[in-house]
């Protein structure tokens, strides 16, 4: 979910914000007087995987990961 907006921020760019929610399916929070309102598409569209930012969790190939030996790091203690 994106950073929460104030009503003033929503008012300033309401059409772009609504379009973003409808395109991505990602809810948008709006906070007024300490209470939150959530803008979500009713169509039930969920955030699509291709819209997610790509992140790298490892910096090697899967073959390199499989071949990695951890024996020198293992102390045997839990």
Inter-residue contact 44 to 69 (CB < 8 Å): no
Residue 55 φ/ψ, nearest 5 degrees? -125, 145
pLDDT in tens, 50-78: 667 777 787 888 888 888 888 887 777 76
Residue carrying structure tokens 């309401």: 14
Inter-residue contact 52 to 26 (CB < 8 Å): no
Confidence tier at 9 by pLDDT (50, 70, 90): very high
pLDDT given for residue 57 in this prediction: 80
pLDDT given for residue 4 in this prediction: 95
- The angle at the Cα of 16, spanning 32 to 27, to the nearest 5 degrees, equals 55
Higher pLDDT, 12 or 23: 12
Note the CATH architecture for domain 1-49.
3-Layer(aba) Sandwich (3.40)
List the chain domain ranges: 1-49
pLDDT in tens, 16-28: 999 999 888 889 9
């Amino acid at each position: 979910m994106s950073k929460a907006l104030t009503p003033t921020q929503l008012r300033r760019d309401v059409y772009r914000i609504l379009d973003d929610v409808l395109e991505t399916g990602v809810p948008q929070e709006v906070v007024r007087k300490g209470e939150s309102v959530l803008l979500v598409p009713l169509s039930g569209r969920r955030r699509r995987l291709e819209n997610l930012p790509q992140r790298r969790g490892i910096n090697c190939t899967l073959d390199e990961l499989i071949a990695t030996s951890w024996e020198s790091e293992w102390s045997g203690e839990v």
